[in-house]
Structure 1
């Protein structure tokens, strides 16, 4: 397929913010982060997902790539969607972006200040709680963090809030008591759960955009099954394009973290595939579900 023009990723208006419907994820790239983020911006991605968690992300390198892309005329900051996260100590390594002895409100504010410095910007389009503090329910630490995030949102330094790695019960609790409801949920998306169907339904009912990551890597076995391979062959696309076309069609914002320039262009070309018919969509929805 020919390479798409810059800015091919359509935007949606979500609570007054222009949000790309396809994001580039910057996790696990280490010293290649700057070059790969720049490559994604050059390919046409307008949404960048990162986190102030040096264990898995190199946020400062993301910022360097963004600034170089602006200097080179590939984009403007106002036309980009930059999303970062606050991560609890338990999921960090020794390279902390805040004082671990400080109260949670201070940790959140220090983490955000560090993110703004890394990304060389004065606001974030989205600020995400990078997973609740406990596996079950929401604990006091979660609420202290969320209340601080709400306060930051009121100041305008953060436009939208979200939460990642969240269960159905945790999201339900957050919706029940949050002053500012999450605008985004970002989860690892498994075919065996019908692509996180239960949480996606809760998101849809509450005006939340669902962001799905690891769509390919978390489902490698399911995506090698004959019905998927035959469908991709019949439609003249790659399996990755098929999955992304499916995700876009069901209202999901997919993330890709590909390090291959051609794959990035191919991923964006998923927009040009025709809509899946009901039978094909049902096949993909059920591919990982045990009978």
Structure 2
């Protein structure tokens, strides 16, 4: 199962303002929300508060929204904050406890997607965590499973070969400095895996300011950010946006409506830059 939405609202680093930003994002058109059971960088509980406001005050239903969260291994947690699982438990038990914490935070009986926030220290531990997600998907608690911060196609192949299932979702940095994660991006497109990107805008200032992007933006009367989002969407990438500004929320959601069929040669020039 892949994310239906063409853009996902990211909730990292929003701290006590998480509730207000999530409510605003949904009211401005976002229908997919990404969070993590990781108090170090996310307030998953405040995403849940936002959901209650959306349901009770704005008429949304649970099925209107795609909710994605993550199991964060202990290396990515801050031990000074409450942990969502017992760090001395085996990895599979940690995954299950993290998912139960997320279900409670988000006031839901199921999660649309759960990702491993990253591969674990060893491949056996990664596979143990992955098999726990596979089991949760089979039980119907989780509908899609995936992995984030996985930059080697071999890791994804191991999940399918040795872990029992191909990922539904991969969420990675997709930006200038890692050459747009070309190997994993291609791997996902070839296999029908949803590739989600973060740092799409903030990580690619040179591309956004390039003559090719600026020309399309002028021609289509849109922003350079919308150009990059739409090119991503047309090439198997679902961007995350964590913007806190209403205008940028509107722009991000509207990007999928842009028609670039009459500027394909310019789009091809941008793709040459990305794939160089």
Question: Under TM normalisation by the shorter chain, which class is it?
Answer: over 0.9
Partner residue, 2:107: 120
TM-superposed CA distance for 1:173, in Å, is 2.1
Superposed CA RMSD in Å reads 1.8
Q: Which of 100, 121, 136 is 1:152 aligned to?
A: 136
Of Structure 1 and Structure 2, the greater helix share is in: 2
Q: Which of 94, 113, 123 is 1:107 aligned to?
A: 94
Asked whether the equivalents of residues 249 and 275 of structure 1 are also in contact (C-alpha less than 8 Å), the reply is no
Partner residue, 1:72: 57
Per-residue displacement from partner, 1:192-220 (whole Å, max 9, x unpaired)? Answer: 55533321221122221111111001112
TM-score, normalised via structure 1 length: 0.88
TM-superposed CA distance for 1:177, in Å, is 2.2
CA distance in 2, matches of 1:288, 1:151: 37
Q: Which of 21, 31, 37 is 1:46 aligned to?
A: 31
1:88 paired to 2:88 = no
Structure 1 pair 133–180 and aligned structure 2 pair: CA distance change class (3 A): same
CA distance in 2, matches of 1:56, 1:151: 27
Q: Compare 247-256 and 274-283 and name the one that shifted more.
A: 274-283
CA distance in 2, matches of 1:109, 1:271: 35
Partner residue, 1:143: 127
CA distance in 1, matches of 2:269, 2:143: 37
CA distance in 2, matches of 1:65, 1:253: 23
Per-residue displacement from partner, 1:136-157 (whole Å, max 9, x unpaired)? Answer: xx61110111111111111111
Matched residue count:
272
CA distance in 1, matches of 2:9, 2:181: 20
1:169 paired to 2:154 = yes
Matches for 1:261-276 after TM superposition, within 5 Å: 261-276=246-261
TM-superposed CA distance for 1:240, in Å, is 0.8
Q: Compare 274-283 and 163-172 and name the one that shifted more.
A: 274-283
Matches for 1:161-200 after TM superposition, within 5 Å: 161-167=145-151, 168-191=153-176, 195-200=180-185
Per-residue displacement from partner, 1:116-140 (whole Å, max 9, x unpaired)? Answer: 1110111100010111024xxx611
Unaligned ranges ≥5, structure 2? none
TM-superposed CA distance for 1:75, in Å, is 1.7
CA distance in 2, matches of 1:121, 1:132: 26
Unaligned ranges ≥5, structure 1? 1-13
Asked whether the equivalents of residues 186 and 212 of structure 1 are also in contact (C-alpha less than 8 Å), the reply is yes
Per-residue displacement from partner, 1:157-200 (whole Å, max 9, x unpaired)? Answer: 11110111112221122232232221001111024555333212
CA distance in 2, matches of 1:212, 1:121: 26
